[in-house]
Chain A
């Protein structure tokens, strides 16, 4: 299994697009953060950290994170779809479960990396803007970790779609179709908590009233919406891949 992970990462890192895709969200966050002027919004500088986090989350968690994971999910199957890679891979001593799990694991590890780079982007921009100490580490960890968890079901569906479609564009289009309504969903009290694509934002958005929870949303929501959609998408994709005949 470890060797399969190494092989997957080896193939992926040789692709030009991967690092661009990984850096895209954090870099845009960084430059966006630099342009933000808290006084224009009537904030005091003492809350600069909170201000930066709140404003960048909107852009990053709502759009760039889900879109980037979609691109990466597409990339991780792209090289198998081209030139008969699937049959080469599956004729080796590996099971389909292992292949699916290896690809999924690589994806969630990359998502974690992107989250950490986002953290770095916030910190660097804050320091450059001379934000006052202390850096709200606890708050941000919660946000980084929660956002990461929220990408699990998204990545599972994206992997499924990218295994299903031979073309790179089709799964990406599916992803965009689901991602765009998230901005409407987060504004809806009723629909927002139920919509998987809204979860990265909801779980990253720093809200004061959730001090006691581990994440910024109630546990029930994490378990049912994130956990539930994860189970459906993950096992849906896995079953599809196991049944796939025409390789």
Chain B
């Protein structure tokens, strides 16, 4: 798989406090990567290091396969970003804000109208940003991030301050970008529901450590309904099932079934009884993504 962003043991220390600890992010090309974690987990610090706004204490960052330390300028030419609260010059209009950026980026002038249109700010093009609502500032921030037609778009909590219809619009935009513009998107959020709606890939960070990184499908799999079997001599029962070609999970004297149809469960119980094991309990265990996320981020309290 081709990775657009790859970090190797990326670490940031502020004095004694370790904000980000040996992070190995891998962001595949063309995905919407959801960077998920509670507030203060180290998301923004990581994003700042990806943009070269902060120097890592240790570790390295590769973007587009190039070392950020050596090729920062040429990498940033193809990166668009919105980090934390939107940045803007309040004495300028939204058009002028984009113009000040465009001069540096060297994009064509038409690009300004295009990105304003994309975030539905065309009508406010000549209004001073001073009077904007948070939602409008957020849209302007996203327009700024898109001004250079980036190959990698980094958005930190992009739906902050948007109203419900704005949130839906933003989600649709984020989902469209990889397909239409050949972009890879990295969005961070502390809300799983936010990431769940748009991301195709997920990284979960807690207390500076990456505790999960895989496709959203793999994460959903973890969240699926499970059938728990409590039986006598569980370890041997698990082996017997395996010998019969039935794949199960075995953990702490509990057997978890993958197949969950009534027939499959009945068949398993029958085999177990036939083989002489006592079946104490057959239970359904339900876990939502939220449960998984909370369990993940609550653990690792070893610092």
Contacts and interface: CB of A to CB of B under 8 A. Distances in A.
Contact of A88 (B79, B87, B103): B87
Interface in A61-95: 79, 82-88, 90-95
A3 interface: yes
Contacts of A79: 89-91
Interface stretch (A6-14, A49-57, A135-143, A153-161): A6-14
Given A91-B51, A247-B53, A83 B89 contact: yes
Contacts of A209: none
B91 A3 contact: no
A233 B81 CA distance: 33
Contact of A3 (B54, B79, B103): B103
Contacts of A85: 87-89
B87 A10 contact: no
Given A93-B77, A245-B55, A83 B99 contact: no
B57 to A, nearest CB: 11
B20 interface: no
Nearest to B14: A245
Contacts of A94: 73, 104
B182 interface: no
Given A79-B89, A79-B91, A88-B144, A7 B100 contact: yes
A15 B90 CA distance: 10
B223 interface: no
A15 B52 CA distance: 29
Interface residues of A, number: 25
Nearest to A102: B104
B76 A92 contact: yes
A245 B48 CA distance: 10
A225 interface: no
A14 B104 contact: no
A10 B144 contact: no
A7 B101 contact: yes
A4 interface: yes
B74 interface: yes
Nearest to A247: B53
Contacts of B83: 87, 91
B85 interface: yes
17 contacts: A3-B106, A7-B100, A7-B101, A10-B103, A14-B89, A15-B91, A79-B89, A82-B89, A83-B86, A85-B88, A85-B89, A88-B87, A90-B52, A93-B74, A93-B104, A95-B72, A247-B54
A6 B103 contact: yes
B105 interface: yes
